[in-house]
């Protein structure tokens, strides 16, 4: 069973769709859904508590980290399963995501698994598949941090998500995992949908790219 960490910062209007997409997966794969509300000023709390009334699988935490990496680490620390996945509240998953990934993890005795991503560009009103392919061959351009399941021991072994990073904490996490001798698997399917919209594009692209370069060189030197 899998602990699902949902990070939400002012994404209340997306949260219901995200959680509903999780609950469309077979319940035998869901240990719990932990909604981490980080400093939201919208109706995230009300929506999360309303969702919580409908299923005992949901746990709600209100924090004031103002940090994606701190929220993620907090959620993982609170999780009860050894298997963890993180879903941003403005994204959603296929109804077969948990089954396909978990069955592959179990069959091949993997520590970490990732797959392709559906990029839903709401600004340009188009969708495309990001084929993540071989982790090492795509390590600079991608991967995105979304659409993964990993053993909590992997997270603890690399020291969790770097809380000093405001951007690209997922990318840094992947690079540090890639340096270790973990058994990593890949599913050649796109079962996670990343939504590109005005708000998650509002942060400076220059700062994100600069941080990405810093993270890359930090991990190879």
Per domain, the residue ranges of the chain are 2-220
- The DSSP letter of residue 40 is -
Residue (of 111, 102, 104, 105) closest to 181 by Cα position = 111
pLDDT in tens, 163-184: 988 777 887 888 888 888 899 9
Chain mean pLDDT for the chain:
85
Residue 217 has pLDDT above 50, yes or no: no
pLDDT band of residue 206 (cuts 50, 70, 90) is very low
Residue 122 has pLDDT above 80, yes or no: no
The torsion angle over the Cα atoms of residues 77, 81, 83 and 84, rounded to 10 degrees, is -40
pLDDT in tens, 82-111: 999 999 999 999 999 999 999 999 999 999
- Sorted by sequence, the CB contacts under 8 Å of residue 133 that are 6+ apart come out as 186
Which of the pair, 39 or 139, is modelled with greater confidence?
39
Q: Is 2-220 CATH 3.90.550.10? A: yes
- The pTM of this model reads 0.85
């Amino acid at each position: 069973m899998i602990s699902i960490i949902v990070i939400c910062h002012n994404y209340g209007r997306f949260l219901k769709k995200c959680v509903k997409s999780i609950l469309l997966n077979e319940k035998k794969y869901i240990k719990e859904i932990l909604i981490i509300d980080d400093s939201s000023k919208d109706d995230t709390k009300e929506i999360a508590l309303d969702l919580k009334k409908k299923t005992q699988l949901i746990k709600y935490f209100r924090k004031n980290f103002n940090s994606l990496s701190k929220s993620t680490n907090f959620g993982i620390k609170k999780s009860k399963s050894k298997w963890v996945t993180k879903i941003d509240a403005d994204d959603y998953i296929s109804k077969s995501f948990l089954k396909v990934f978990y069955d592959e993890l179990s069959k091949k005795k993997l520590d970490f698994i990732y797959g392709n991503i559906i990029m839903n560009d709401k600004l340009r009103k188009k969708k495309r598949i990001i084929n993540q392919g071989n982790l090492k061959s795509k390590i600079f351009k991608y991967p995105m941090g979304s659409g993964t399941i990993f053993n909590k021991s992997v997270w603890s072994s690399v020291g969790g998500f770097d809380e000093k990073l405001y951007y690209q904490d997922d990318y840094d996490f992947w690079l540090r995992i890639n340096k270790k001798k973990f058994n990593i698997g890949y599913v050649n399917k796109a079962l996670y949908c990343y939504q590109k919209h005005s708000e998650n594009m509002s942060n400076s692209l220059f700062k994100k790219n600069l941080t990405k370069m810093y993270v890359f060189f930090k991990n190879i030197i």
